A and B are shown apart, each in its own frame.
Chain A
């Protein structure tokens, strides 16, 4: 039975990792084609950094991910506090609207935003793509922060005011530390979603502004250059190293903090499980 279980787990992981292994192996392949192996090389890693097209896509991918998740987190923090203090009925309406980008198929979100931008006579490009990313990021940030606000002791904020803090101070020194785990979860979730997005970016960008997903989609017809394999190997390895560092640091941390992180994971367990394990 134990052997059977182990084999099963192994097979599932083999299934999940086979394509990734193939990508990594072929980033070292001398031949340009993905059909045969012609010897080991590092030239794709070297050429990657000379490729203007890929480097510009990488630049836009990272820039949009950083900007959209930061802006979404900022708007999300303010909005969460507002939503938390709303009356029940308007609160329900706002929360339901907030679910729309999460529940809607990506393709519908992308197309409806494209129609909006064209309708408003905006040129599709960097700004429209950024606006689209912020729009689909905010709901995840809010859903990560709201449970934290609910857990918080309601009287803490008033106590801070009574003790002479200004509202800004009370927010910075009392509320913000309490909701911080949710803020971080939300930010990471937004960052990953933005980094990996294809469908919504595909419909809302234009005039030479592309992200990596769009470049890959465009290449898929003609065959993807091993340079892209090299780039994703680098990205994969950096994420892996980052996760390992975070995990080692976390296991050194005191148990109380770990328990808190566990609890914050608990709250976000029904969000798509992408970023919150950090």
Chain B
């Protein structure tokens, strides 16, 4: 028996549970049930051009970009510090970053309500210190905070993993050749860490742009992101056509950003995401 046939059960599985569902979504996004039966239509996609929905898209992209930028700014130094430490502590630090992910993410996000509330933990501490109170719950800021909180480890870990593999002698050579710390970082360390930065950006941006849970919990429902919009179409308004069209748009967005990342990665040589 040829061994490649061992893949056939999974291929059948993939066709049923991966390919057919995608095709169904595509089918619903371009058809419409009318009195004369099923008809092809571009109506669902045309509806999306409405300023209301375009604004939803822009808001989703803007919040996800803000989250990615903050994660990069916070995560890079953290990864660099972790990569510079000695072995035994490193292992503990790595575990400490992974550990929170073992707790249900809904619950961890929900806990931010307790922290951020008007009479919550943070404001109590601030008022004891005599500082002005922080009132960001149910705003864009709270949603971005929730995203950063959930996705920061996905930025730190890939950058850390690349940084800890950089050959020390390359850095020493750059220093011997007269580069000061800033030059060495800018010309040697940072370019070498780019593959990690790029997979970090991908792993943060993608889930951030498609989330509907974080915005639902911390945005208090008034801040609709594209994820919430899709959920609404399927679960409350029952508009599968429009919901499918939105899903197709979301998939295209992910594909395009993957394409850009891949192209960039190839130009920079190596460190493929997968």
Chain A residues proximal to chain B, CB less than 8 Å: 5, 8-9, 12-13, 15-20, 22-23, 26, 34-36, 75-76, 78-79, 81-83, 85-87, 90, 94, 97-101, 103-108, 111-116, 119, 131-132, 135, 138, 142-143, 192, 196, 198-199, 203, 212-213, 216-217, 220, 224, 228-229, 232, 235-236, 239-240, 243, 247, 269-270, 272-274, 277
Residue from A20, A35, A105, A198 with most neighbouring chain B CB atoms (10 Å):
A105
Asked if A94 and B11 sit within 8 Å, CB to CB, the answer is yes
Cβ distance A110 to chain B, nearest Cβ, rounded Å: 9
- The interface residues of chain B lying within 8 Å CB-to-CB of A100 are 18, 22
Partner among A97, A105, A229 whose Cβ is within 8 Å of the Cβ of B19: A97
Give the number of A-B contacts (CB < 8 Å). 221
Task: Tell me the complex Cα distance, A240–B67, Å.
Answer: 29
Interface string of B189-215 (1 = CB under 8 A from A): 000000000010001001101101100
26 A-B residue pairings within 8 Å (CB atoms): A16-B97, A19-B112, A20-B108, A35-B117, A78-B6, A82-B7, A85-B2, A100-B18, A101-B18, A105-B210, A107-B231, A107-B247, A108-B230, A111-B247, A112-B21, A116-B21, A131-B17, A135-B18, A217-B106, A220-B106, A232-B104, A235-B103, A247-B91, A270-B273, A272-B203, A273-B153
Asked if B98 and A81 sit within 8 Å, CB to CB, the answer is no
- Known pairs A113-B17, A229-B107; list 16 more (Cβ under 8 Å): A17-B100, A20-B108, A22-B115, A23-B111, A35-B117, A35-B120, A86-B4, A94-B7, A99-B274, A104-B251, A107-B250, A116-B17, A138-B13, A142-B10, A198-B106, A228-B107
B40 within 8 A of A: no
Asked if B251 and A20 sit within 8 Å, CB to CB, the answer is no
Asked if B6 and A105 sit within 8 Å, CB to CB, the answer is no
Asked if B3 and A85 sit within 8 Å, CB to CB, the answer is yes
Cβ distance A233 to chain B, nearest Cβ, rounded Å: 9
Cβ distance B181 to chain A, nearest Cβ, rounded Å: 11
Cβ distance A91 to chain B, nearest Cβ, rounded Å: 8
- The interface residues of chain B lying within 8 Å CB-to-CB of A220 are 106, 110, 216-217
- The interface residues of chain A lying within 8 Å CB-to-CB of B11 are 94
Task: Tell me the complex Cα distance, A69–B210, Å.
Answer: 25
In the complex, which residues 87-135 of chain B have their Cβ closer than 8 Å to any Cβ of chain A? 91, 93-115, 117, 119-121
A111-B243, A220-B106 given; A97·B14 CB < 8 A: yes
Task: Tell me the complex Cα distance, A243–B216, Å.
Answer: 32
Task: In the A-B complex, list the 9 residue pairs whose CB atoms are closest, starting with the nearest.
Answer: A82-B7, A82-B6, A19-B111, A112-B21, A105-B210, A79-B10, A85-B3, A116-B21, A135-B17
- Which of B30-38, B48-56, B74-82, B166-174 lines the interface with chain A? B74-82
Task: Tell me the complex Cα distance, A196–B203, Å.
Answer: 17
- The interface residues of chain B lying within 8 Å CB-to-CB of A113 are 17, 21
Asked if B7 and A277 sit within 8 Å, CB to CB, the answer is no
Asked if A16 and B254 sit within 8 Å, CB to CB, the answer is no
Asked if B5 and A82 sit within 8 Å, CB to CB, the answer is yes
Asked if A216 and B206 sit within 8 Å, CB to CB, the answer is no
Task: Tell me the complex Cα distance, A81–B119, Å.
Answer: 57
Cβ distance B51 to chain A, nearest Cβ, rounded Å: 23
Task: Tell me the complex Cα distance, A103–B206, Å.
Answer: 8
Task: Tell me the complex Cα distance, A105–B274, Å.
Answer: 17
Partner among A18, A36, A272 whose Cβ is within 8 Å of the Cβ of B115: A18
